[in-house]
Amino acid sequence: MDGRTYRASLDDGRKVYVDGAVIGNVGTDPHFAINVRRASATYDLFARDSAARDAFMTPPTGVESLRQRSDSHVDELASMTYTTMMTLLTAADRIAKVRPQAREAVDHFVGDLKTRDARITECITDAKGDRAKPPAQQPDKDAYLRVVGRRDGGVIIRGAKLHVSMAAIGHELMVIPTKAMKPDEPEYAIACAVPVNAPGVSIVSVHNGRMPEDADARDFPHSSQHALPQGFVIFDDVFVPEERIFLDGETGMSAAFAHSLGLWVRAAHLNHVCDDLDTITGFAQLIAEANGTDRIGHIKDKIANMAITATLVRATLEASIAHATAIHGGIMVPDEVFTNAGKYHAAASYASLVRDLLDIAGGSAVTAPSARDLENAEIGPLVRKYMATKPGIEGEYRLRLFRAIHDLTASAYGGHRHVALLQSGGGLYAQSIVTRGRYDMDRAKRLALESFGWESGAADACPRNETAPIPA
Amino acid sequence: MDGRTYRASLDDGRKVYVDGAVIGNVGTDPHFAINVRRASATYDLFARDSAARDAFMTPPTGVESLRQRSDSHVDELASMTYTTMMTLLTAADRIAKVRPQAREAVDHFVGDLKTRDARITECITDAKGDRAKPPAQQPDKDAYLRVVGRRDGGVIIRGAKLHVSMAAIGHELMVIPTKAMKPDEPEYAIACAVPVNAPGVSIVSVHNGRMPEDADARDFPHSSQHALPQGFVIFDDVFVPEERIFLDGETGMSAAFAHSLGLWVRAAHLNHVCDDLDTITGFAQLIAEANGTDRIGHIKDKIANMAITATLVRATLEASIAHATAIHGGIMVPDEVFTNAGKYHAAASYASLVRDLLDIAGGSAVTAPSARDLENAEIGPLVRKYMATKPGIEGEYRLRLFRAIHDLTASAYGGHRHVALLQSGGGLYAQSIVTRGRYDMDRAKRLALESFGWESGAADACPRNETAPIPA
Amino acid sequence: MDGRTYRASLDDGRKVYVDGAVIGNVGTDPHFAINVRRASATYDLFARDSAARDAFMTPPTGVESLRQRSDSHVDELASMTYTTMMTLLTAADRIAKVRPQAREAVDHFVGDLKTRDARITECITDAKGDRAKPPAQQPDKDAYLRVVGRRDGGVIIRGAKLHVSMAAIGHELMVIPTKAMKPDEPEYAIACAVPVNAPGVSIVSVHNGRMPEDADARDFPHSSQHALPQGFVIFDDVFVPEERIFLDGETGMSAAFAHSLGLWVRAAHLNHVCDDLDTITGFAQLIAEANGTDRIGHIKDKIANMAITATLVRATLEASIAHATAIHGGIMVPDEVFTNAGKYHAAASYASLVRDLLDIAGGSAVTAPSARDLENAEIGPLVRKYMATKPGIEGEYRLRLFRAIHDLTASAYGGHRHVALLQSGGGLYAQSIVTRGRYDMDRAKRLALESFGWESGAADACPRNETAPIPA
Amino acid sequence: MDGRTYRASLDDGRKVYVDGAVIGNVGTDPHFAINVRRASATYDLFARDSAARDAFMTPPTGVESLRQRSDSHVDELASMTYTTMMTLLTAADRIAKVRPQAREAVDHFVGDLKTRDARITECITDAKGDRAKPPAQQPDKDAYLRVVGRRDGGVIIRGAKLHVSMAAIGHELMVIPTKAMKPDEPEYAIACAVPVNAPGVSIVSVHNGRMPEDADARDFPHSSQHALPQGFVIFDDVFVPEERIFLDGETGMSAAFAHSLGLWVRAAHLNHVCDDLDTITGFAQLIAEANGTDRIGHIKDKIANMAITATLVRATLEASIAHATAIHGGIMVPDEVFTNAGKYHAAASYASLVRDLLDIAGGSAVTAPSARDLENAEIGPLVRKYMATKPGIEGEYRLRLFRAIHDLTASAYGGHRHVALLQSGGGLYAQSIVTRGRYDMDRAKRLALESFGWESGAADACPRNETAPIPA
C-alpha cells in the first residue's frame, strides 16, 4: 500500500462521528487531514523502501539494536501498529498455556495484518461505570465490554472503549480486557480483533488539541503538524468470528494483554519523553538567550533544574536498556523498574517544567502577535522592531519562538500533550504501582537490616517469619 | 453611559489590528464580542443602579469593608479601571513631593474619567529589548517608551507597551514606567494618560485562549464566557498634552507608579485566585465522585493536598486583610508580605494542582465527546449510556464536567490562564523578591540570635567589635 | 509551690527508669536536670507573681486575647498542664451528655489540680500492637490500655502509653483513649487521671536529643537549655478510684478527649512553629551574611523561599485567630482548617528548610571547632583568624553561629525536633485528614459547578433526575 | 603495614587537638577509636591478601570492571587514599603541559606512597574569609592558603584547610587549590603534599556525629561502627620541599586538581548513595511491616515515592557507567552529566526521604526505650510486650529497628550524614552547575528549533550569530 491506496482504503463504510455529524470519508475529511497526511507519508516511505519497513516492524534482539531502534521517521499510526503487534505476540506466549489455539490465532492475524499492510489501534480502556465496583456488579453490565451472545462460529460483544487514539483512521481494532477479571466474570475476559468497519462499530472522534480553524500554520507550528484524534469506540452487538478471538472466558489470563501492552507502550513513551524534556529545556535556554536573560542567576538555576530533570529521565532510559532482558524469540524488553520510574518522573514533573518555561519566557508566550501581523505593511515593521532585542535576535525569530512555546505548552495542543503524558501507560498511579512492584524491595530490606548488624546469625529471622526474629 | 452608548463609543477611529487585518469597529467585531458583551453588562448594571457604581468605585476605609469588597458582579474592564484609578491616586501622593502639579493633574484626570464614565487600561511593560541592558544602553533606544520630542504644551512619546489586557476596548491608556529609571535616563521617566484613539497609537490585539471558532459553547463553558484579549500597544510619536502628564523626567520617582500598581493588582488577584484554587479543588472532588473514585486512598490524599494549598493561599488573604494598613485618605491597603507570599504560592503551585486535577479526572478530560454528539439520535443515547457511572451520575452531567475541566485546564483558555497567573503582578520572581523585601528579616535574625543566647548578657563574652555583625 | 518545693515533691516513690536503671530521685537526677530547672523557674515566677499564674491559666475569651496569649515565659511542663486542663474542660461538656457525673469529676479534679499547683502530662498514644487490627482483635489485648478488673470504688487498668513528654517530672497523668472505640470495645473506652507515683505505674524515660555528656554547653547552645524526655508509661494493673474516672465504657464518646486535645495541642504548636520557621530563616540570613554570601543570587532565592514558607504558615496562624469561634464559656478556639493546614505545611516543609539552611551554611555546620578550642592558647587564635571573614564578623561569632545551627538542625537535638514536629498533633497524615475534613468542600464544589453555569437555570436543560449528582 | 604497625605509625609527633586539648597519641585516643579500628582492619586485610590490595588500588580500564569495582570491603581512609591518588594522576596529565616537572613529582610521590603503604587525605577547602571577595582582596590574605616565602629547595605555606575528613589519622595531606585562581594570584596556585607531622601543621579535630559517651552500642548501631572526624587543618608557615610541589604559581592550571578530585569523589559518592537510598527505603518498608501499616494506602504511596527516587538515582549510576569514557592510560571515568545529576538529586531529595521514613516510623523513632531497658528484670518484659505487634514481630526486633532508624536519621550521626551528603562534592549548587555545564544544551536547543521547523534552511541562522536568524 502507498499513501494513495491507504487513503482510499479508509472509504470502507466505517461509521465515524465528529461533533454529532457523520463523517462521509475520513480519508478526505479535514478533521483527520493532519493524521492521514502523516500516515500516508509513512506508507509512501515504506512503499519506496521495503527494507525500512521490514526493519521497523522487526523487534530488537540485542541491547545495541534496542538502543538504536527509533521510530522518529514513521508516523504515530505506524508506531502504534508496531506496539500492538508486539503486544499480541508477547501475550500469546502466556495465553497459549490456557488457550492453545490463541497462539495460532495471533500468528495468523498478525501475518494477515502484515500481508494487508494494515494499521491497527489499541482498544483497552472500558467505560468502567462506577469505579468503586467490579464489572459484574455495575448498574449497567455493559460498563465493561463483554460477550453478550454466541452464535455459530463466533461471539457477540457489547461495550465501549475509550481514549483510542486514531481509531478512525486505522483498519483494525485490538480489543483487550482493561484489567484482571475475576472467576465469576468470564464474559468480560474477551480479547479479539475487530475491523473498524464491522457492523455495530461506531467511533465518536474527538479533536481537542487542534489548532484554531482560522489560524495561520506559522503561529501554531506544532499543532499544524501534529494531532491525536481520540476515538470513543462503541461496540453495539458486534459479531466476532472465532479466528479473531484471542481470549474468551479464561479470566486467569485476562490481564496478560494489558500487561504486555503496558510493557511496550511505556518503553516507547519513555523514548519520546526524553526528547520532549530536552526540547522543553532547549526552548527555555533559547528564549532566555533571545530575551537577554540567560546570564541571570535565577534563570540559570531554573534551566539547570530542567536539565537535571531531563537527565534523570534519560538516565532511566539508558539504564532500562543496559538492563534489558530477552523474552521469547530473543526479543529484548527494557527493564521495567527503570522504565516505570522514568515514565513516572517525567509525567509527574512535566507540569513544573512547563511552568518554568512559561515563567522564563514571560507574558509574550500568550501575547506575542501573529505571523500575519508581521506581514501588515503598517504594523509589521513596528512589531519586528519591538520584538527584536539585540544584534542576532531579530523580531521575527523571537516572535516565532514565542509562538512555538505557546503552541507547545499553553495552547489546546499543549493541554492535550499534558493529559496524554499523564494518562499514557495508565496514569501516574499505575506507573507508581508498577515501579513499587518491580523495585527490588527484598534487597533494600536486606541492606537496611545489614546496616545495623541484624544479619549476624539472623538469616532465618526475617521479620515476616512466624518464629522469633531475635538473634542470639 | 449604558451598554449601547459604550459600544457606540468604541467606534472612534482607533487603530486596532488582529492577525494583520485592521478592525473596523471593535464594538461589533466578533474577536471582541465576549468582552464587549461583558463590559456592556456592567455599564447597563451601573446605569440602572448608580449607587452600585459609586460603591464599586469607592475604596475601602476599614478592615471590614476591605474584607467585604467584591468585584464579582462587574466585568474585568471595570475592575481594571478601578485598580488604575487607585494606582494614580496612590502614586500622586508620592509624586507630588517632586512634581507638585502631578497631584492636580491626576485629580483632574480621574475626575474627568468618572464624569465621562470612561474605561482605562494599564500600559506598563515595555518591549525591553536586551534584558541584560538598561534603557539608555539598548541597541534600539525605543525599547523602553520614552519622550522623543517636545512641543508647545506637551511631549511626544515613542515606544511599545506589551501585555495590555483589553487595551482595544477601553477609552484611555495609563502609560507608566515599567521600573525605576536612573538619573541619566530622564526621557524614560514618563507617565501620562493617552486616549486609545490618539493619533500614532496602534493596538495589535492578540486573542489566544479563545474557544475554537466552530465549537459549541456548551463544550467550552468557560472560554465561551471569558476572554482576555491582549494588546501590543505601539506609540509611534504620540503627542501628549501637559495636563495629561503625571511624571516627566523625575527619575527618582519613576518606580512610584509601578509600585502602586503592584499593590492594587496583586491584592485584587489574590482575591480571585483564592476562589480559583477552591474551584480547582471542587472540580477534583466532583469528578472523583462522578467517577466513583472519591473513596480511594490516593485520590483522597491528592484532593487533601489541593485543599491544603487552597487553604494556605486563602490564609494569606485573611492575614493580609487582618494586617491591612491605612494610607492617605484612610484607604486600607492589604499587608504586602502576606499578599505576595500568597500570590507567589498560588502561581507556583497552580501547575501542580492542574496536574492533580487532570490526573484524578482521567483521559476523558481530553477525550470526552461533545454536546452535539449527545444530540445525535444514533450515538447520543450510547454516549450517555457509557458516560454514566451510577444512579445520580448521568452521562450528560459527567460529560459536561469533563468538558468544563478540559476548558479550564487543558484548552487554549487553560493555557492562557496559567500564563496569566504566572505573569500577573510581575512574574514569580518579582513576587518572590517582594516577599523577601517585605518579610521582617530583622525580627527573624533576632529570634535566631536569641535562640542561642547571643543577646542575653553575652555581648562582652563575645566581642562583636565596633561594627555590628548583623547589618540592616 | 515554688521551685524548691516542686523539686522536693518529685521524691514521692515514683518508679522511673533510664537505660535500664532505676532513678532514685528525678528531682536531682542529671537526666532530668534541664527540665526540672526550667519547671522550677516557672514555679518560682508564679510564686512571686500570682497574677501571672492566674493569667496564664485562664483561657482567652476574645480574638484579641487569643492573639496576645503567649506561653513564651513559661516552661513546657506548665504549658502542657494548661492544654491538658483545657482538654478536660472542653471534653467534659460533650461527655456530660452520656455520663453526667463526668462534668463534676472533671471540675473537681481540675480544681484540685489548681489548688495543689500540680503539673499533669498527657497519656494518649497506646502501644497499638498490630496497626492493621482494632483493639479487640489484637493478639495481645493489652495493646490498647483497658479496664481489666473492677473493685469497690474503682477500676483496674492495664496497658502502656507512649510518647508521653515529661511524664517523669509531672505529678499527674491524664489517661485518655487514643481514638474512637467500637461498641464491642467498652473496656477500652476509659479516661481517668492517675498520680505518677500510683502503684503499678512505671515510666521508662528516654532521653534522645540531649547534648553529649562531655560537651561544653557553649557548643550546644540549644540542647544545653532544652530537652524533652519521653516517657514510655506502663500501667501494670493500676487501681483508679471512681472520682478520678471521666469515661468508663461509653464508647460513643471515646474520641471526645483526643479530639479536644488535638484542638488545643495543634493550636499551641502552630504558635511555636511560626517562630521556629522564622528562626530557621533568620539563621540562614545570619550565616549568609557572616559568610559573605548574602548577595549571591541562589542564596537569596533560597532564603526568599524560606521566608515565603514561614509567611504562609504564619498566615494560617493569623487566619485561624481571625476566624476563631467561641465554645462553652466563651472560650475562643482557633479555626481548625487554617490551624491544621498550617501545622501540616510546617511539618511537611521543615526538612526542606533545614536542608536549605545547611546548604547555605556550608560544611562548617558540622566541622566547626569548639568553644574550648578557642580557649587553647596555641590554636585558639588561629581558629579565630581562620573563622573570621571580614570586619564585623569575628571568628568567635561565626563559630558560635555554626555551632548553634548545628545544634538546632544536625545534632541529636535537631533530629529530635524534626520527629517532634512531624509527629506532634498526630503525624502528617492526621493533619492532612483533619484539613480535608474541615475544608469547606461544599462551597468548593458549588464554585466549580457555577463556574461552568451548571446552576444558572440549567436544571431543566441538563436533567439531573431525582438523585442529585453531588452527594454530600 | 598491618593494623598494629599502622597504629604505631600514628605516634609520630603530629599535633592534634580535640576540644582544646592536645591528643597524645591518636592511635590510642578514644576519639579516634572507631576510625583507627576500621583503618587497621583494612591494613590487616591487605596484609593477608596483597592481591586484594593491588586490585583495590588499580583503576578500572573497562566498563565491566568499572561496574564491578567496589570499595565496600575497605574503610573510608583507604577509599580516600585511592581517590586522592587518582586525582593526582589525572591532574598531572594536564599540569604537565605548563609544568613538566609535575608529572615526575606526582609519579614519584604516588610511588613512594604505595611503597610506604601510607594513607593520604584531601585538603581542598580554604577558610575563604569573605566569600564575596577573591583571594587577593581578602582582609586577611591567608584566608586562602598561599606561599608566604621561599627558601632553598622549597616554599613556605600558610593558611587553613577545612572539612578534611580523617586528617588526623592519615600520614599525608594532599594540599590543592580550592578553585581557579586569577593571573594576579600566583601565590595561591600551590599544590603539594605535606606529612601530617610536618612542623607547623596543626589539626583541630571535630567529632560531631558520634554516639553519646554513655550510650550502649546496641542503641546506636550505626554510629557505634561509623564516624567521620573532620579536621580543621592549620598550616602555620610550613616548609614544603621542591619534590613535593605539584603546582607553584601556574594560575591557569589551578583548577585542574579540584576538577579531577570532583570527578573521582562524586563518582565514588554516587555509588554509595545509591545503596544509602535503597537502605532508607528498606527501613521504611521494614518498619511499616513491623507496625502493621504496610498495606495502608498512603504508606504504600510514600514508600513507592521513595523507591522511585532511589531508582532514579541508581539509573544515573547505571547510565554514567554505560557512557563512561577512557582518559589517559585507559582509565574509565564515569560520565559526568549523569553522575552530577544523580548526586544532586540524591542530596536534594535526602531530607524528604528521611522525613518520609520518620513519618512512617512514628514517634518511637525517638521515644523507643534502650537495649539496657530490655535487660532490666522488671520493665524489660513489659517493654518487650508493648513493643511487639504481632506474631513474627517481637518487641526486641521492633525496638532495635526503631533505634537503627533513629541512629541513621535523627541522631547526631544522622545530622552529620545529612550535611556530608549535601556538602560532599562541593555542595548542591556546585553539582547543579556542573550538571548544567555538562548537559548537552546544544542538542536540546537544536531539538527545540527543529520541533517547530526552524531548521528549514536556517543552518547558519543560530540565534547566537550576528546575522539575521530568519529563514527565507
Would you state the pLDDT for residue C93?
Answer: 85
- Rounded-to-integer distance, Cα A402 and Cα A396, Å: 10
**Nearest-CA distance from C118 to chain B in Å?**
29
Who among B408, B443, B469 is closest to C278 (CB)?
A: B443
Q: Chain centroid to CA C302: how far? A: 28
Compute how many other C-beta atoms are within 10 angstroms of the C-beta atom of residue B195: 18
Contact D130 C236 (CB under 8 A): no
* Cα angle: B283, vertex B412, B433; to 5 degrees: 80
Residues of chain C that touch chain A, judged by Cβ-Cβ distance less than 8 Å: 296-298, 301
Residue C105, pLDDT above cutoff 60: yes
Which residue is listed with cell 536586551? Answer: B130
pLDDT bucket at C393, cuts 50 / 70 / 90: very high
Using a CB-CB cut-off of 8 Å, the residues of chain A touching C301 are 297-298, 301
Mean pLDDT of C320-334: 89
The total number of residues shown for chain B amounts to 472
Using a CB-CB cut-off of 8 Å, the residues of chain D touching A72 are none
**Nearest-CA distance from B457 to chain D in Å?**
24
Mutation site for D-interface testing, chosen from A436, A442, A462, A464 by largest number of D Cβ within 10 Å: A436
Contact A301 C296 (CB under 8 A): no
Mean pLDDT of B303-308: 97
Residue D405, pLDDT above cutoff 70: yes
- Rounded-to-integer distance, Cα D466 and Cα A394, Å: 10
Cell of D411: 541522631
The total number of residues shown for chain C amounts to 472
* Cα angle: B141, vertex B147, B149; to 5 degrees: 110
- Rounded-to-integer distance, Cα A245 and Cα A236, Å: 17
Quick check: helix, strand or coil at residue D423? helix
Would you state the pLDDT for residue B137?
Answer: 95
Region of C371 (left: φ > 0; alpha: ψ -120 to 50; beta: rest) is alpha
Angle between helices B395-409 and B336-361 (to 10 degrees): 130
Cell of B282: 471542587
pLDDT above 70 coverage of chain A, percent: 96
- Rounded-to-integer distance, Cα B70 and Cα B68, Å: 6
If you measure CA to CA, which chain A residue comes closest to B230? A367
- Between A67 and B459, the higher pLDDT residue: A67
Residue B328, pLDDT above cutoff 90: no
Min mean pLDDT across B372-381, B432-441, C230-239 is at B432-441
Mutation site for C-interface testing, chosen from B67, B318, B442 by largest number of C Cβ within 10 Å: B318
**Nearest-CA distance from C140 to chain B in Å?**
29
Using a CB-CB cut-off of 8 Å, the residues of chain A touching D344 are 308
C233 Cβ contact partners less than 8 Å away, ≥ 6 residues apart: C123, C160, C161, C162, C164, C167, C173, C201, C202, C203, C204
Which residue is listed with cell 486575647? Answer: C65
- Cα→Cα distances B194→B27, B108, B468, Å: 20, 14, 51
Closest CA to D6 of D228, D170, D167, D168: D170
The answer to whether the pTM exceeds 0.90 is yes
- Rounded-to-integer distance, Cα B225 and Cα B206, Å: 17
- Between D71 and A370, the higher pLDDT residue: A370
pLDDT bucket at A68, cuts 50 / 70 / 90: confident
C351 Cβ contact partners less than 8 Å away, ≥ 6 residues apart: C418, D351, D352, D354, D355
For residues A434, A440, A441, A442, the Cα torsion angle rounded to the nearest 10 degrees is 140
Contact partners of D by the rule of 3+ C-beta pairs under 8 A? A, B, C
Tally of helices (H runs) and strands (E runs) in chain A: 16, 13
C150 Cβ contact partners less than 8 Å away, ≥ 6 residues apart: C156
**Mean per-residue pLDDT of chain D:** 92
- Rounded-to-integer distance, Cα C209 and Cα D407, Å: 11
Mean pLDDT of D226-254: 97
Residue A354 β-bridge partners: none
Cell of A95: 495465553
Cβ proximity of B248 and B149 under 8 Å: no
Cell of D65: 570492571
pLDDT bucket at C69, cuts 50 / 70 / 90: confident
Quick check: helix, strand or coil at residue D351? helix
Would you state the pLDDT for residue C256?
Answer: 94
**Mean per-residue pLDDT of chain C:** 92
Would you state the pLDDT for residue C455?
Answer: 62
Where do the DSSP E strands lie in B170-326?
172-175, 190-195, 201-206, 230-241, 245-248, 325-326
Cβ proximity of C318 and D157 under 8 Å: no
If you measure CA to CA, which chain B residue comes closest to C446? B282
Mean pLDDT of B396-408: 97
Region of C209 (left: φ > 0; alpha: ψ -120 to 50; beta: rest) is left
Predicted confidence (pLDDT) per residue in C332-382, tens digit:
889 999 999 999 999 999 999 999 999 999 999 999 999 999 999 999 999
Residues of chain B that touch chain D, judged by Cβ-Cβ distance less than 8 Å: 296-298, 301
- Rounded-to-integer distance, Cα D361 and Cα D293, Å: 10
pLDDT bucket at A464, cuts 50 / 70 / 90: very low
Closest CA to B210 of B238, B229, B193: B229
Predicted confidence (pLDDT) per residue in D445-465, tens digit:
999 999 998 864 343 333 332
- Cα→Cα distances A425→A32, A263, A347, A430, B273, Å: 24, 9, 10, 8, 33
Would you state the pLDDT for residue B121?
Answer: 97
- Rounded-to-integer distance, Cα A216 and Cα A265, Å: 33
A67 Cβ contact partners less than 8 Å away, ≥ 6 residues apart: A321
For residues D316, D317, D323, D324, the Cα torsion angle rounded to the nearest 10 degrees is 140
Contact C452 B400 (CB under 8 A): yes
Would you state the pLDDT for residue A455?
Answer: 60
Q: What is the CA radius of gyration of chain C?
A: 25
* Cα angle: C183, vertex C188, C189; to 5 degrees: 70
**Mean per-residue pLDDT of chain B:** 92
**D33-50 burial code (b ≥16 CB/10 A, e <16):** ebbbebbbebbebbbeee
Mean pLDDT of C7-19: 98
Predicted confidence (pLDDT) per residue in C413-429, tens digit:
999 999 999 998 788 99
**Nearest-CA distance from C47 to chain B in Å?**
24
pLDDT bucket at C263, cuts 50 / 70 / 90: confident
Who among D140, D210, D385 is closest to C140 (CB)?
A: D385
Tally of helices (H runs) and strands (E runs) in chain D: 16, 13
Compute how many other C-beta atoms are within 10 angstroms of the C-beta atom of residue B55: 11
User: What ipTM was estimated for this complex?
Assistant: 0.94
Q: Chain centroid to CA C138: how far? A: 28
Quick check: helix, strand or coil at residue D15? strand
Angle between helices A76-95 and A100-116 (to 10 degrees): 160
pLDDT bucket at A467, cuts 50 / 70 / 90: very low
Would you state the pLDDT for residue D458?
Answer: 40
Contact A298 C298 (CB under 8 A): yes
Would you state the pLDDT for residue C20?
Answer: 96
pLDDT bucket at D399, cuts 50 / 70 / 90: very high
Cβ proximity of B224 and B412 under 8 Å: no
If you measure CA to CA, which chain C residue comes closest to A297? C297
Would you state the pLDDT for residue C461?
Answer: 31
Predicted confidence (pLDDT) per residue in B246-294, tens digit:
999 999 999 999 999 988 888 888 989 999 999 999 999 999 999 999 9
- Rounded-to-integer distance, Cα D359 and Cα C461, Å: 50
Contact B312 C315 (CB under 8 A): yes
Mutation site for A-interface testing, chosen from B133, B164, B367, B424 by largest number of A Cβ within 10 Å: B367
- Rounded-to-integer distance, Cα C97 and Cα C108, Å: 18
- Helix (H) / strand (E) containing A149: strand A146-151
C134 Cβ contact partners less than 8 Å away, ≥ 6 residues apart: C182, C185
Where do the DSSP E strands lie in D304-371?
325-326, 332-333
Cell of B265: 493588582
- Helix (H) / strand (E) containing A365: helix A364-367
Mutation site for B-interface testing, chosen from D130, D293, D301, D359 by largest number of B Cβ within 10 Å: D301
Compute how many other C-beta atoms are within 10 angstroms of the C-beta atom of residue D243: 15
- Rounded-to-integer distance, Cα C180 and Cα C189, Å: 8
- Between C263 and A410, the higher pLDDT residue: A410
Predicted confidence (pLDDT) per residue in A91-134, tens digit:
998 899 999 999 999 999 999 999 999 999 999 999 999 999 99
C460 Cβ contact partners less than 8 Å away, ≥ 6 residues apart: none
Residue C464, pLDDT above cutoff 90: no
pLDDT bucket at B465, cuts 50 / 70 / 90: very low
Cβ proximity of C188 and C270 under 8 Å: no
pLDDT above 70 coverage of chain B, percent: 96
In angstroms, the first-to-last Cα distance of chain A is 75
Phi, psi values for residue C266, rounded to 5° = -65, -40
- Helix (H) / strand (E) containing A161: strand A154-165
Predicted confidence (pLDDT) per residue in D173-195, tens digit:
999 999 999 999 999 999 999 99
